[in-house]
Amino acid sequence: MDERIKVYEEKMQKAVDFLLSEYGTIRAGRANPHVLDKIKVDYYGTPTPLQQVGNITVPEPRMIQIAPWEKTLIKEIEKAIMMSDLGITPSNDGSVIRLVFPELTEERRKDLVKDVKRKGEENKVAVRNVRRDGNDAFKKLAKTDVSEDEIKQLEDQLQKLTDKYVKKIDEMIEEKSKEILTV
């Protein structure tokens, strides 16, 4: 593959990777520790990722358990979870915090699927923007010593890459939607 194309492929891959991380934070009725990835806890005045202040386990399919390394952090962790958009009230027994995920209602599942599709579309737009930037860059090459045929070849390669990544995003949307709708 042409070096000039690789740059754009990396950018497209970043869009797919970002979407994958976004989908990891969407809860689908099952306990997934990745829903906590964006939560930061005030650790002695420093916002610290939750994973760095305690041990996160999934003892049951619909429960996440957080065992802080310092018992004094329980209140801070609870506060961080309450302030997040997780929509789950934590319960604690003085040493661990439990998050019980309720069964999702049909309406909530449909809302989540809409969210999944919206995020997927946003990332397809990002991939297409990378293609547009690439095509603009290739058109500028026409002013140098690059033949029209070579530019056409580069544009074709870039279009094939775009199609590949859009297809990959469509598959991710389909897979995540199926996961959410499975009761």
Average per-residue pLDDT for the chain: 86
Same domain, 134 and 73: no
Could you tell me the CATH number of the domain that includes residue 60? 3.30.1360.40
Same domain, 14 and 52: no
Q: How far apart are CA 50 and CA 64, in angstroms?
A: 13
Give the range of the structural domain holding residue 59, as residue numbers without chain letter. Answer: 33-100
Choose one of 48, 78, 100: the last residue of a domain: 100
Q: How far apart are CA 114 and CA 1, in angstroms?
A: 36
Distance of CA 39 to the CA centre of its chain: 14
pLDDT tens track for 41-53? 888 888 888 888 8
Looking at the 3D structure of the chain, how many domains does it have? 2
Mean pLDDT of all residues in 8-25? 88
Q: Where are the alpha helices (DSSP H) in 25-105?
A: 74-83
What pTM value is reported for the model?
Answer: 0.69
Q: How far apart are CA 135 and CA 163, in angstroms?
A: 14
Element (H, E) at 141: helix 106-141
